[in-house]
Structure 1
């Protein structure tokens, strides 16, 4: 079997991929790098449990091959914060009970982190075309933007509350 190689920047550290060119980014992160915060949910790109950020944009890592990311900056949940130093979104998820079983939480947090940047950059959505003209996104807007991340426990209102808290704290900063 032919192998390929690439260098990926994972959470600020250069990591070598050497292996089967068919290996997904998700499996490389979990199996090779032992970064098990990123979860394998459906393995079909439908649930969002495997969401990571590549060059600041959120993707489903189960649908992307590791070899495709030579030179890219990959951020997983382990790169967002640590138990000793949680990121603001992580603290908000804890304070608002934005999780129940916790399986989807890493993907939700990665997605929310990227989504907040998308909002700040004025990206349009199916709900609001001119985000810059809107004083604050509605709950409907936030739900639409987070719709690629499923929570089987149904903690959606708490997730939206956590995101809103971070947005309000950033406005006051």
Structure 2
């Protein structure tokens, strides 16, 4: 299966937002956007010259199946960003697609933004996501409870990738 990352468009944002309304996905992915208008506004912000977020779509054999993005991009003294991703096409879960997409994306953003580190939050019971992150060099830095959910913070050091 060929995995590629492609440019995001407003049409992708609309599809992604609709697909994210799934109960199973909602339980596994922390979310900060509650309306399509908000999602489209966030997307518009990524197109600005001084954007603090950047994203791509994930395609498997020319089929749009999810998104991956970084946010809170900080190019200052210790360049870093936060990461999030979601494969909304459930038939693609458990096939290594997220791991391959993440590897491609990490290579791209590490170079594009000269990052030193990338962080990611996930719920502690989202074992699949933790595994994807660990396979790509992230390690758990902290466990905590937020909004009554056990969560973990993982971090990836760009120099560790080699």
Q: TM-score, normalised by structure 1?
A: 0.32
Question: Quick check: which one's strand share is greater?
Answer: 2
Q: TM-score, normalised by structure 2?
A: 0.33
Larger radius of gyration: 1
